[in-house]
Amino acid sequence: GGFGILRLRALLHAAACRGSARWRKVWYQCSSCGRVSGGRWVQAFEESVSDPRRLPGEPGGLALVWPTRGRALQRDTVGRGHYCLEDPSAVPARLLYELQPAAGRQQSVLLHSKMMVGEAALDPGSVVWVYLGSHNFSMAAWGAQQQSQTCRISSWELGVLIVLPAPAVVPLPFQLPAPRYSAADQPWAPGAFYEEVFQANPPPEILERQARTAAAVRGHLSGASSPQLVVGTFVPEQHGSSLSQTAVCRLILDLEDSFTTPYILQSILSDPEVVERINDMGGIWIGDASQPSTHIGAVLQYLEASGSVDMSPPVLLGTCSLPGCHGVLVERVFTA
């Protein structure tokens, strides 16, 4: 085979025939998994990159180095938008290892590189061969073998395979070996962004947490004009709406997460029409449901500076330091 996975398999088998060192595990770090499933294609790919000299029944040892959802959603993480994974549940759990940048590299930056290394069987940490290129872990990039022994490929890719004369420690952008995912870890995927920001499918523990927060905030604000507290989801259309003579303004309360609030500040509140709408309604009600936050200060500073919105009480109900409270919406109805 001259292209794709058939070409890579042919080169690796040729290296083994020439007497290269044996490799035990194949570490694959990339930024897109396409429509990966646990079916025949993954098995065929693993078989293609595994050492052909391994004993019968010995596992191939393919390891996918991929960021966890928790790591991708950390406050200072950069590069989460470069990743593509349509269905995290379709990736076999046995393949998943956590992406951790190598020592000396910026720990907050998620890698956009695509590389594969064969780790030496008798010298852990050293590698026998290195692949560098543009191929992500997908059938479109590497191709799928047809019954006619041809390879059907859907995208143009280019890569270089380097077989070392002897196992050696080479500089890699990620830690080797990478730690295996824990039982609680989930692979990062764009869908997690929408779930985290817009809470499209909040898990039961989140709903319970929201209910506790709503009760606590109601008690804290019971003597302050009795605002209506609404537990619910945050979607783009809810940043403000006008209904005849009544306007409704909502803002998410959970300023602890360091992910949702910056998103609101940088996108939704950067829309001049939204700022004007907030100003027309006489301000916005904000509460901090966990702890003092730089994000709430940034929101207030932005609204005052860019929107000329009066942020002084009682338009703003200060901040509420309520430990253990997260993720509710405050809704205040302004009547013209």
The one catalytic residue among 13, 112, 135, 326: 112
Any catalytic annotation for residue 295?
no
Q: Where in the chain is the domain with CATH 3.30.870.10?
A: 4-195
Q: Please write the tens of the pLDDT for every residue from 190-205.
A: 766 555 544 445 567 6
pLDDT in tens, 138-186: 888 998 877 767 788 888 999 999 999 999 999 999 999 999 999 989 8
pLDDT tens digits, 267-293: 444 555 554 544 443 444 444 333 344
* Amino acid letter for position 240: G
Cα→Cα distances 278→51, 227, 260, 309, 324, Å:
63, 17, 19, 8, 29
Whether the model clears a pTM of 0.75, i.e. scores above it, the answer is no
Whether residue 171 has a cis bond before it, omega within 30° of 0: no
Q: What angle do CA 237, 239, 242 make, to 5 degrees?
A: 80
Query: What CATH class is the domain 4-195?
Result: alpha beta
Listed as ranges, residues in the chain with pLDDT below 70 are 1, 36-38, 75-76, 148, 191-203, 205-336
Establish whether 25 is an annotated binding residue. Answer: no
List helix spans (H) across 32-138.
Answer: 40-49, 69-72
**Residue in 9, 7, 27 with CA at minimum distance from that of residue 17:** 9
